[in-house]
Amino acid sequence: MAKLLIKTEGLENTLIELRLGINRLGRSADADFQINHATVSSLHCELVLRDSGVLLRDLESTNGTFLNNQPVREAELSAGQTLRLGDVELLVDNTEANVAIPKFANTELPAPPVVKADGDMACPRHRSATVTHQCTHCHEVMCFACIHRLRRKGGQKTLNLCPICSGTVEILGGAPKPAKRSVFARVGETVKLAFKRTVNLDK
């Protein structure tokens, strides 16, 4: 997980390990990570940890936010850079967001899928449902109800996970088919089309 190490005397070797989403740094007890120093504002800056890295935003601090001694309002962090809040220096140790995907307990192995009368494959766990997804790891097939969904805190994307191995699940193309039209509906459309042609000929 993304980490910063405070180097300033009196606070040295204090490790800040960021969480996914917004992390506010400042002197206030309301900050996610409190830095008790006179040159640090109550809410000095925020670090947004995302899949792509860490975004730094200054929060109208009194003594400024600096990255490699350059004043910044907003910037992407990289490992090895020096972040300074007022007179407090921090080393950017890591900017990676490692997400641990939980393993789901599998109490019993599912039965093989069954082909329904309409040609679609029935879900091994929900016989009345149609198979719509497949795991990219163990290749287990499943219906929409089988999928485990994991939403990352502070993120927009939802992970679709296999109930067997916790692998990534992708759509199989087995979405419900449109309802078949009756013979009467097709005859009705034919009559309407013929009627329109007749009207056009009369003009």
**Confidence at 110, pLDDT banded by 50, 70, 90:** low
Q: Which two tokens stand for residue 44?
A: 């000095």
Taking only the tens place, the pLDDT of each residue in 49-73 is 988 899 999 999 999 999 999 999 9
Pairing mode of beta strands 148-151, 158-161: antiparallel
Look at 7 and 196; give whichever has higher pLDDT: 7
Taking only the tens place, the pLDDT of each residue in 7-50 is 998 888 889 999 989 999 999 999 999 999 999 999 999 999 98
pLDDT at residue 126, as a whole number: 82
CB-count burial class (<10 Å; 0-12, 13-18, 19+) for 56 = buried
pLDDT at residue 99, as a whole number: 60
- Residue 138 φ/ψ, nearest 5 degrees: -100, -5
pLDDT at residue 178, as a whole number: 47
Residue in the block written with tokens 């969904």:
149
SS (H, E, C) 171-191: ECCCCCCCCCCCHHHHHHHHH
- Triad 92, 96, 101: Cα angle to 5°: 150
Averaged pLDDT score across all residues of the chain: 80
Cα radius of gyration rounded to whole Å, the chain:
29
Question: How many alpha carbons lie under 13 Å from residue 5 in its C-beta half-sphere?
Answer: 9
Look at 89 and 112; give whichever has higher pLDDT: 89
Q: Is 43 left (phi over 0), alpha (psi -120 to 50) or beta?
A: beta
pLDDT at 124 over 60: yes
